Chain A
């Protein structure tokens, strides 16, 4: 079977395009900040938006494999590292905004938040777990760890995404529609993997016959 792949040149352009697009949410926040267009509670807005984009990029990262499984596309896999690093980038912003703008280095309040409030504990844990994945995202680190160990480490991303969705759902006062939308996407992505695993077993049996 022919695997549809992109030429190196087209892939480079695609990467540039995705890189620029991934910076748009940040540009929008900065622009909003400069023109005073972030509403009455800008810190809340920035916190929510960076959280939203963290989850979005996590879901995009996790959709690379399902897209390959469903449509045989390999190019999303080539973008996956960049998407994952953008998830980490927005998560870092989200955390820094909490640390600086929201709590203004009130370590006692932050400590209490992390220990006492489940949604903060989960969000903070998910952020901590993202760090080793970002650090080991380079080719060099992949080689040093060895494919198997690297792969095992990076399965953490499922727990991180789950943690992120729970973090969102748990902080919402009442309207769960947005966290549930993320949960639905996450579940769908897992289901595709699961369904394919079972399908592939059958396909193998067929070709073996």
Chain B
């Protein structure tokens, strides 16, 4: 595996962080939910993490404003700007994630427990949406493998299913049946154990903003963005391949693997190129989103047109 130096944290505009904190505070103070907005969240909004990650990119990170203002998170609406507008209704504390299924030690983790389970690292990853736009985001988290090791998968465990929160009160987009709620995603166990697969709690040095999947989400940088489940409440290890929300919504268009692949088009649009947010010209999409060196081995011998 090739290691690259990550961007130093100083390269990331501190001004934006500052502005965002002000915005968050203002939002918390101004919104009617201020009453039950937990003080701990505000206190813990900065995360302690190491920057000496082995995984990183030399690409310029996408501005904070775009990362947090342009999101697909249908639980808060199907427009790109809906999540930033609507996600304030999500309560991220208290929060628990149960890890169950084919494991020897099923357990329900509190979010604070999860945050302390392994050292947090910053990793600058490419994010490629199936809609052919992309970003570069400094995420903070640790490999999902760290969590899975704790629960000791049984010999039968072949897949990992992620289930997101289902609560129409907190997630107004779920009042529409645009997808089959709760949102479900899945990985093969070896994909889930891959060191690039990141259990993620933050971005740009702070806790995940709600619209980015707070309080805990997956980031799987070699797959299309929708594979990375947000606001996860359950992680289930299974013997059989789970049916994901997008497979249910359009089995011909969204496969289980959803690996970024410029050679396999979405039935309705090309995947050969992408527009990096902020760029004028499109750029060619890289195989496995540029992570082929690290992950191609997972799919050796597989027909990626069939297993799309």
Contact = CB atoms under 8 A, between A and B. Distances in A.
A116 B65 CA distance: 35
A66 to B, nearest CB: 30
Interface stretch (A18-26, A39-47, A53-61, A88-96): A39-47
Contact of A41 (B65, B250, B269, B275): B275
Interface in A7-44: 39-41, 43-44
B78 A41 contact: no
A21 B178 CA distance: 34
A173 B131 contact: yes
A32 to B, nearest CB: 13
Contact of B178 (A112, A113, A119, A175): A175
A158 interface: no
Contact of A171 (B80, B133, B179, B268): B268
Interface string A95-120: 00000011110100100110011110
B277 interface: yes
A73 interface: no
B70 A118 contact: no
A174 interface: yes
A170 interface: yes
A102 to B, nearest CB: 8
Interface string B174-208: 00101100000000000000000000000000000
B249 A118 contact: no
B302 interface: no
B69 interface: yes
A170 B80 contact: no
Contact of A39 (B80, B130, B269, B272): B80
A119 B270 CA distance: 12
Contacts of B273: 109
B25 to A, nearest CB: 23
A39 B249 contact: no
A132 B275 CA distance: 34
Interface of A: 39-41, 43-44, 101-104, 106, 109, 112-113, 116-119, 170-171, 173-175, 177
Interface of B: 65-66, 69-70, 74, 78, 80-81, 130-131, 133, 176, 178-179, 249-250, 265, 268-270, 272-273, 275, 277-278, 280-282
10 contacts: A39-B69, A40-B69, A40-B277, A41-B70, A41-B80, A41-B275, A106-B282, A112-B270, A116-B270, A173-B130
Given A171-B269, A175-B78, 12 more contacts: A39-B81, A40-B277, A41-B275, A102-B282, A104-B281, A109-B273, A112-B270, A116-B270, A173-B130, A173-B131, A174-B249, A174-B250
